[in-house]
């Protein structure tokens, strides 16, 4: 059972400070009570184990660098060697090797020996799906930023999807001021 947390209320600055059980006897402390206990319990039940959370964070950290992201994009087309990756991403071979080592340690890429060469590839299709979802998120977030800059109620050419319609893959039409944005 987790210990109860308390908050210290500063009337002058309206700031909250989470305090330990050791400080709870102070008259200035009150229990930190959730506003929606059912929602808190549901969210607590959805949290992954610490081990799984560590692996998820490591995967995002691995893709959280533009050089590593370029490498993963390049490997999405098929296996490549360090030299070819260095040419593609514009980094030295030793720099690419360092990045590949980190990606391999995080199980984002795998290697295959072929004669005297070593070729790297994306470890599995889950990595490609993760990249695709990140692209989709970036595209939608970018459109939201445009709406914020341009303003709702104005027209904007947002482009068309692969079948020539101004809809995304889920069939949502993006317009400035649209609740879908």
DSSP-derived 3-state class of residue 74: helix
**In the predicted structure, residue 108 carries a pLDDT above the cut 90:** yes
For 6-17, write each residue's pLDDT tens digit: 445 444 444 445
pLDDT the model gives residue 18: 52
More confident residue, 23 or 60: 60
pLDDT the model gives residue 69: 92
Average pLDDT (44-60) is 92
pLDDT the model gives residue 80: 97
**In the predicted structure, residue 82 carries a pLDDT above the cut 90:** yes
DSSP-derived 3-state class of residue 93: helix
For 113-138, write each residue's pLDDT tens digit: 999 999 999 998 888 888 888 888 88
Mean pLDDT, all residues of the chain: 76
More confident residue, 160 or 129: 129
Highest mean pLDDT among 61-65, 158-162, 174-178: 61-65
Is the distance from CB of 6 to CB of 19 less than 8 angstroms?
yes
As given in the structure block, the two tokens for residue 17 are: 């400070």
Query: Could you give the CA distance from residue 52 to residue 67 in angstroms, rounded to a whole number?
Result: 25
Percentage of residues in the chain with pLDDT exceeding 70?
62
pLDDT the model gives residue 34: 86
Closest-CA residue to 66 (of 92, 93, 91): 91
pLDDT the model gives residue 155: 45
| Angle at 159 (CA atoms; ends 156, 162), nearest 5 degrees | 160
As given in the structure block, the two tokens for residue 130 are: 């993760």
Percentage of residues in the chain with pLDDT exceeding 90?
43
| Angle at 110 (CA atoms; ends 106, 112), nearest 5 degrees | 155
**In the predicted structure, residue 172 carries a pLDDT above the cut 70:** no
pLDDT the model gives residue 27: 57
Ordered domains of the chain (ranges, CATH): 6-46 (no CATH), 53-123 (1.10.10.10), 127-181 (no CATH)
pTM of the model: 0.61
């Amino acid at each position: 059972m987790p210990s109860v947390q308390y908050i210290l209320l500063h009337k002058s600055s309206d700031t909250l400070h989470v305090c330990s059980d050791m400080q709870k006897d102070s008259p200035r402390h009150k229990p930190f009570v959730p506003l929606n206990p059912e929602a808190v319990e549901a969210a607590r039940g959805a949290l992954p184990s610490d081990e799984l959370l560590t692996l998820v964070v490591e995967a995002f950290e691995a893709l959280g660098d533009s050089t590593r992201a370029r490498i993963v994009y390049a490997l999405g087309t098929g296996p490549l060697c360090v030299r070819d990756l260095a040419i593609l991403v514009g980094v030295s071979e030793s720099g690419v090797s360092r990045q590949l080592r980190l990606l391999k340690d995080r199980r984002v890429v795998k290697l295959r020996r072929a004669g005297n060469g070593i070729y790297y590839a994306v470890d599995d299709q889950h990595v490609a799906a993760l990249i695709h979802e990140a692209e989709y998120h970036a595209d939608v977030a970018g459109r939201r930023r445009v709406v914020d800059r341009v303003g709702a109620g104005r027209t904007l050419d947002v482009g068309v999807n692969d079948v020539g319609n101004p809809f995304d893959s889920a069939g949502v039409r993006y317009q400035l001021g649209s609740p879908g944005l």
